Structure 1
Amino acid sequence: MEDYIREIINFTDISQFKPLNEIVFDGIRKAIITGRIPVGQRIKEKEFAERMNISRTPIREALHRLEKEGLVEYIPKFGTIVKRITIEDAKEIYQIRQALDVVATINAMTRMTKEQFDELKQLLVKTEEVNKNNQDVEEVIRLFSIFNEKIYQFSDMPRLTSIVTKLREYLMRFRDISLTEEGRRKKALNEHWMIYRGMYNKDEEQIKLIINEHLSYSEKFILAEMEKQQNGK
């Protein structure tokens, strides 16, 4: 049996200048959303506390918060287990993201300086160069993430950014699977270029259309992947 407590500990950096309950919460949450702890696995409070040399209180607090977020479930006389992210969850997340991505992108478009547009363009050029070699897929995926993060940064909407970051994390491992396929990466890169041009030309309608198409295509792939995994294929 794999050591799932070790996976949580790997994500729990107690050297951070943050309250311990926040550190523990972030560590367990990241281990769950990245798929390091399988669905149905029980999170053992006592063992986790002993191996981290901390009390069980911050762990309990973290699990209560994760239960409210829908990532874990408490089963009487058994303990807290990791819940499955359902297809319905994914559909809801994408519906919210479509609306929020449009808002952030249009807001960024109206605020961005020439230097920021140049920065975004150079990022796309770099992504294109790395993707042509078809050797460092992880780097391409990382650059895609930076593109999205830059738009939210330039939108200057910190609260909206925080909400979307959490939503994106839920489906991170499925998104990364989708982008390992060469054709999908090329299409996603082309869509990023179209989003950039729409922003540069201040074309709100094009932005709305491309973002909706971009996320709809990603949603279809991820839903299909989730169905495969839930059916054990």
Structure 2
Amino acid sequence: MARETAVSMTKTQAAFHRIRAAVEEGRLKPGDRLKAATLQEELGMSPTPIREALRLLQAQGLVEHRPHHGMVVAEYPVEQTEEVYRLRLVLEPMATGLAAERATAGQLEEIRRLLDDLREAVRAGDARVDAAELNAAWHRAVYEAAGSRYLEEFIARLWGVLPLEAIWLASRSEASIEEHERITAAVEGRDASKAADLVREHIEATARMRERLHGA
């Protein structure tokens, strides 16, 4: 029984990641119906892991159940997106300031390495989702360096509510790289106040651009 459960969870996680990637990459758009039969055929899986994956995605707010429609990709009302950004403006500067105070030498090296990888991806013109993933990895590295498990979990929950494309905007990639560079330098310089201010400005700039592009 334990072995069957482990296999089932592996398939569930695989389905979860593949469906989530389709949402984040825009192949599945807000309002699209998630038909179990279609997903089973596309993913080559039985109904159980598909159903469990959709349940996990629903818990994260990426899909929702609608009467007479079943599961659909969640749409993000202006109010919901604005709330996520308001909370990011509270939690992420706090975490970045703590990272400037607490980061180990190894963590600082990882933050710098991820920034270099992100810069190279943007210069090389990689697909937007690759840059979005690297951006998320850089942010995670900064917040992990804060040394606060609960703060890190709260931030991860916020990031899980919206697709990565709602946080990384390709249209301002060059500006984001410059902002990341200044934040990284402040963290490396152990300037907690400056690091917190810079990440706050970074989030505000992204929110303004998103509003201009998407109205949310």
Q: TM-score, normalised by structure 1?
A: 0.69
Shift of 1:85: 1.8
Shift of 1:26: 3.2
How far apart are the structure 1 equivalents of 2:10 and 2:146? 29
Contact 1:90 1:223 in 2 (8 A): no
Residue 4 of structure 2 corresponds to none
| Paired residue secondary structure (2:184) | helix
Read off the aligned partner of 1:217 and give its amino acid letter: A
Contact 1:42 1:82 in 2 (8 A): yes
Read off the aligned partner of 1:223 and give its amino acid letter: E
Read off the aligned partner of 1:96 and give its amino acid letter: L
Read off the aligned partner of 2:28 and give its amino acid letter: I
Assess, with a 3 A threshold, how the Cα gap between structure 1 residues 32 and 124 changes in structure 2: closer, same or farther: closer
User: Is 1:96 aligned with 2:87?
Assistant: yes
Residue 173 of structure 1 corresponds to 165
Unaligned runs of 5+ in 1: 1-15
User: Is 1:43 aligned with 2:34?
Assistant: yes
- % of aligned pairs identical? 25
Aligned length: 208
Shift of 1:115: 5.1
How far apart are the structure 1 equivalents of 2:126 and 2:49? 37
Residue 3 of structure 2 corresponds to none
Assess, with a 3 A threshold, how the Cα gap between structure 1 residues 28 and 137 changes in structure 2: closer, same or farther: closer
Read off the aligned partner of 1:195 and give its amino acid letter: I
Residue 209 of structure 1 corresponds to 197
Shift of 1:159: 4.8
Unaligned runs of 5+ in 2: 1-6
| Paired residue secondary structure (1:40) | coil
Residue 12 of structure 1 corresponds to none
How far apart are the structure 1 equivalents of 2:56 and 2:135? 30
| Paired residue secondary structure (1:81) | strand
Q: TM-score, normalised by structure 2?
A: 0.73
Contact 1:109 1:155 in 2 (8 A): yes
What's the RMSD between the two structures over aligned residues? 3.5
| Paired residue secondary structure (2:31) | coil
1:148 to 134, 139, 142: 139
Considering Cα pairs closer than 8 Å and 6+ residues apart, tell me whether 1 or 2 has the greater RCO: 2
Shift of 1:209: 1.8
How far apart are the structure 1 equivalents of 2:123 and 2:58? 40
Residue 84 of structure 1 corresponds to 75
Read off the aligned partner of 2:213 and give its amino acid letter: E
